[in-house]
């Protein structure tokens, strides 16, 4: 007989109650009610069970933003649009600043390298220019007789006496006009003589320099060499006038070869302003060459007043320095044509002296 108060288990999904294929009774004869889960059991099971798997597999963990790249990716992916716009503006500003700094740094580096290279090139060019300048001669010189070849002068000397035939020829020559002087000069040259007197005794010295560095000639001196006493045997003169002039500088040479300093003439006047003569004073000027300086031109006369009838050669020494450096000396012994420099004493008692007076040549004694 059925007990109405007993619990009836629900049917299984197949519709039968405890069918052979369904749940079997406990072997210990326990009640079927003991097999249902309790509420606490269900709660514990839910707490410990893993979440259901997604249909597309497990979800990827969220990646935090990393620097500028992350922010740009955030903006591009549409995450948090408000924050993305703010970050995008920051990113753009930072990129602009970085770009400006990069351009400025590039400009600075390029110009620094360019300036450095230009400075190195300039220094190299300066060194090369110095080498080229140092290889140049300190200065060039030209030393020639003051009178040109066709200028006859007004006094002449010969190192031998005239023969009777030569004396006759001289007397046939005129002694008045410039044509007469030219004829006498031609006559003297043929006999191996040369011109004498202030202008004829003088030499023209031309000094030039191609150096960039300044060159200063601070001292000039001369000395007589290879002197011959009583060497002048014949002296011819037309007297005053003609090409008389005062020279820029002169040297008072002596036959013993002692160095003679450079001297100059200075005009001397009296109280009324009348020229009374010339003072013989030291020449103290410096000849500046090189750089932007002009060439130097000097007229110089070797004098042998204390040696009548003497003939000498002479040399010229120039002391100079480059760019205020060490003093050096160059000595000139010949003129531009390669001829020795000559100096003549004044006529003395042992020479034959001829003077052109009133248009004719006559012997004369001093």
Euclidean distance between CA atoms 306 and 31, whole angstroms: 170
Q: Which residues contact 289 (CB under 8 A, 6 or more apart)?
A: 139, 207, 208, 209, 211, 214, 215, 216, 217, 295, 296
Euclidean distance between CA atoms 225 and 302, whole angstroms: 12
Contact 144, 337 (CB under 8 A): yes
- Structure-token pair, residue 127: 């060194």
What was the pLDDT predicted at 247? 55
Euclidean distance between CA atoms 192 and 185, whole angstroms: 11
Question: For residue 109, what pLDDT band results from cuts at 50, 70 and 90?
Answer: confident
Is the pTM of the predicted complex or chain greater than 0.85? no
Which of the 8 DSSP states describes residue 35? G
- Structure-token pair, residue 45: 């099971």
Least trusted range by pLDDT, from 15-19, 51-55, 189-193, 236-240: 15-19
CA angle 277, 230, 196 (to 5 degrees): 45
How far, CA to CA in Å, does 286 sit from each of 138, 205, 234, 291, 321?
A: 15, 14, 39, 15, 11
How far, CA to CA in Å, does 206 sit from each of 176, 286, 303, 361?
A: 34, 14, 20, 37
| Sheet hosting strand 155-158, strand order edge to edge | 194-195, 155-158, 234-237, 352-357, 360-364
What was the pLDDT predicted at 103? 85
Q: Which residues on neighbouring strands pair with residue 322, listed in sequence order?
A: 215
**Of residues 198 and 181, more confidently modeled:** 181
**Of residues 257 and 60, more confidently modeled:** 257
Euclidean distance between CA atoms 331 and 222, whole angstroms: 9
Summarised one tens digit per residue, pLDDT across range 41-51 is 444 444 444 55
Least trusted range by pLDDT, from 128-132, 202-206, 330-334, 360-364: 128-132
Question: For residue 69, what pLDDT band results from cuts at 50, 70 and 90?
Answer: low
Euclidean distance between CA atoms 96 and 10, whole angstroms: 76
């Amino acid at each position: 007989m059925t007990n109405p108060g007993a619990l009836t288990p629900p049917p299984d999904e197949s519709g039968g109650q405890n069918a052979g294929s369904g749940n079997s009774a406990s072997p210990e004869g326990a009640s079927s009610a003991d097999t249902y889960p309790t509420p606490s059991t269900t709660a514990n099971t839910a707490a410990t069970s893993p979440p259901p798997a997604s249909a597309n597999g497990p979800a990827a963990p969220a990646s935090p933003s990393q620097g500028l790249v992350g922010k740009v990716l955030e903006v591009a992916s549409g995450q948090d649009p408000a924050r993305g716009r703010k970050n995008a503006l920051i990113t753009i500003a930072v990129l602009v600043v970085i770009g400006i700094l990069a351009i400025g740094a590039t400009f600075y580096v390029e110009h620094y390298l360019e300036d450095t290279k230009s400075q190195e090139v300039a220094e190299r060019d300066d060194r090369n220019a110095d080498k080229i300048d140092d290889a140049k001669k300190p200065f060039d010189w030209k030393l020639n007789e003051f009178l040109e070849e066709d200028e006859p002068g007004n006094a002449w000397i010969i190192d031998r006496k005239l023969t009777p035939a030569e004396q006759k020829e001289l007397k046939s020559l005129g002694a008045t006009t410039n044509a007469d002087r030219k004829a006498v000069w031609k006559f003297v040259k043929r006999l191996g003589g040369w011109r004498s007197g202030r202008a004829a005794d003088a030499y023209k010295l031309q000094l030039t320099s191609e150096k960039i560095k300044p060159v200063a000639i601070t001292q000039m001196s001369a000395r007589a060499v290879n002197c011959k006493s009583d060497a002048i045997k014949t002296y011819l003169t037309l007297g005053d006038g003609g090409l008389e002039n005062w020279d820029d500088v002169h040297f008072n040479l002596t036959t013993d070869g002692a160095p003679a300093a450079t001297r100059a003439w200075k005009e001397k006047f009296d109280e009324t302003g009348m020229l009374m003569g010339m003072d013989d004073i030291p020449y103290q000027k410096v000849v500046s060459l090189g750089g932007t300086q002009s060439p130097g031109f000097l007229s110089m006369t070797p004098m042998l007043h204390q040696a009548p009838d003497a003939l000498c050669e002479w040399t010229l020494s120039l002391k100079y320095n480059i760019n205020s450096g060490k003093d050096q000396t160059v000595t000139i012994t010949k003129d531009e044509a390669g001829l020795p420099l000559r100096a003549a004493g004044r006529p003395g008692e042992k020479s034959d002296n001829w003077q052109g007076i009133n248009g004719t040549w006559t012997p004369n004694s001093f």
